[in-house]
Amino acid sequence: MTYNIFVFGSSITSSYWNGAATYYRGIYKQLNALGHQITFAEPDAYGRQQKRDSGDFSYVRSIVYKTEADLPSLLSEACYCDLVIKHSGVGVFDQELEAGVLDCRSDKTKVAFWDVDAPATLARVEQNLRDPFRKLIPQYDFIFTYGGGPPVIEHYRRLGAQNCHPIYNALDPETHHPVPADESLQCDLVFVGNRLPDRERRVEDFFLRAAELAPEFQFALGGEGWANKPMPKNVRWIGHVGTGDHNRVNCSARMVLNINRDSMAGVGFSPPTRVFEAAGAGACLITDQWTGIETFFKPEREILVAGNAGQIVHYLRTISAGQAKQIGENMRQRALHEHTYALRAREFDSIVANALAAQSAA
C-alpha cells in the first residue's frame, strides 16, 4: 500500500545550518522508491534558500513558504493526504504547526510527530510544564525519533505518547561512498560540525585538546560558527562543508572524528549522520563514548571509541595507515548490510502499514 505524505521540516534542499538535511534526504528518497508520494514543505529561513545544495531532489515535491500567512493553505492541502508529518526543529512557526497538523486527523488522515532532536524536545517540555507541545503528544497517531533508543521511547510513553519508534540515521550508498583523496584537505584528523552551545565544550575537550597534545599532527575543523574561535596552530578551519563535499573531506583525512552534542551523548543510542557518512566513505572513525555504540558498530573492529582527548591521540599515534583503512572498510561493509536508508524506510513503512491494518481490522 502506498500513501500520499505531507511533510513539514527544516529543509531538504539545503544543509546550511541544518544537520537534518542528510537524514531527510535518505529517508524520503527511499520512501519515494517504495511508491509513496511525498510533499516536503520548508520555510524560507536562516539563509538556507540562498545556499541550497546541488543535487536531485525530485523524489519529493518541494514547497518553500515565506510567512505565517502561508500556513493555512499548506495545512489545508496536507489534510487531503494519508499521512501528515511534522518534524521537530523547523525553526519558524513550530508551535503553530505542531497544533495545526492535528486538525488534519481523521479516519483517512493520520498525523505523526517526527523528532530529529528528541533530547532537546523532551528537556524543553520537562523544564516548562506549560509548554504547548506537552499536551499535544498523546494526540499524535505516531511518534518517530531519529535516535534515543529505550530512554527516549520510555520518556515519550510517560508523556502519554500512543507509541514511539526510533528510525535511526543511516547510509545512502549512492550519496556517500569512497572517492579519491584531495591533497588540499589532507590531514590526520577532521571533525565537521556547526558551533552549537551544547557541542562547543565537547569540541574543546576532545578535538582542540587532542590538537594541543599532538602538535606533530595536522587537524581540520569544518562547520559554521568557528571563525573567531581560538585554536591551536595545527588546526585549520575549512568553513561550511556542504553535503556534496563530505565524501571528499572524509576520504582525505587519515581519521575522522565524531563528537555528539551533550544531550545526544547523555541519552545514548544517537549516531549522527556524520557517522554513517564516514562509514560510506570507508573512513576510519573515532567517536566519543555514548551508550549504544555497539548496537550499530563493533568497537575496535569497525569503529574506534575514545573517552577523552588522550585516547584520540593514542589512536593517532598507534593505528597504522593499513589498520585504519581496514577499520574503515569493516565499518563500510557493516553499514551496507545493516544500516542503509532503504532498510530504515522499509522499517517506517512496516510500522505505519501494520498500525493502519490493525485499525482497519478493529
Q: Are residues 257 and 297 in the same domain?
A: yes
- Decide: 20 and 116 in contact? Cβ < 8 Å: yes
Q: Each residue of 130-176: pLDDT tens digit?
A: 999 999 999 999 999 999 999 999 999 999 999 999 999 999 999 99
- Decide: 278 and 250 in contact? Cβ < 8 Å: yes
Rounded Cα distance between 288 and 330, Å, is 19
Residue 109 lies in a domain: yes
∠ Cα 178 335 2 (to 5°): 110
Q: Are residues 237 and 277 in the same domain?
A: yes
Q: How many domains does the chain have?
A: 2
- Decide: 26 and 172 in contact? Cβ < 8 Å: yes
Rounded Cα distance between 285 and 231, Å, is 22
Joined grid coordinates for residue 135 = 499536551
Q: Each residue of 47-74: pLDDT tens digit?
A: 999 999 998 999 999 999 999 999 999 9
Give me the pLDDT at residue 3, please: 93
Q: Are residues 161 and 237 in the same domain?
A: no
| Residue type (1 letter), 190 | V
Residue 176 lies in a domain: no
The 3-state DSSP class for residue 304 equals: strand
The 3-state DSSP class for residue 12 equals: coil
Q: Are residues 42 and 145 in the same domain?
A: yes
Rounded Cα distance between 136 and 126, Å, is 14
Rounded Cα distance between 24 and 31, Å, is 10
Residue 178 lies in a domain: no
Residue 60 lies in a domain: yes
Chain-centroid distance, C-alpha 6:
20
Per this entry, what is the length of the chain?
Answer: 362
Alpha carbon distances (Å) from 107 to 80, 82, 141, 362: 11, 9, 11, 13
Q: Each residue of 3-22: pLDDT tens digit?
A: 999 999 999 999 999 999 99
Residue 177 lies in a domain: no
Q: Are residues 247 and 317 in the same domain?
A: yes
Q: Are residues 349 and 326 in the same domain?
A: no
Alpha carbon distances (Å) from 114 to 20, 154, 312: 12, 16, 34
Share of the chain above pLDDT 70, in %: 99
Tell me which residue has cell 488534519.
Answer: 104
- Decide: 125 and 131 in contact? Cβ < 8 Å: yes
Q: Are residues 216 and 77 in the same domain?
A: no
Q: Are residues 147 and 268 in the same domain?
A: no
Q: Are residues 116 and 212 in the same domain?
A: no
| pLDDT above 70 for 362 | no
Can you give the CATH number for the domain in which 276 is found?
3.40.50.2000
Q: Each residue of 111-125: pLDDT tens digit?
A: 999 999 999 999 999
Q: Each residue of 320-337: pLDDT tens digit?
A: 999 999 999 999 999 999
Residue 175 lies in a domain: no
Q: Are residues 302 and 221 in the same domain?
A: yes
Q: Are residues 299 and 157 in the same domain?
A: no
Q: Are residues 148 and 275 in the same domain?
A: no
**How does strand 285-288 pair with strand 253-258?**
parallel
**Residue 360 half-sphere exposure, CB side, CA atoms within 13 Å?**
8
Residue 56 lies in a domain: yes
Residue 322 lies in a domain: yes
| Domain with 17 in it | 4-170+341-361
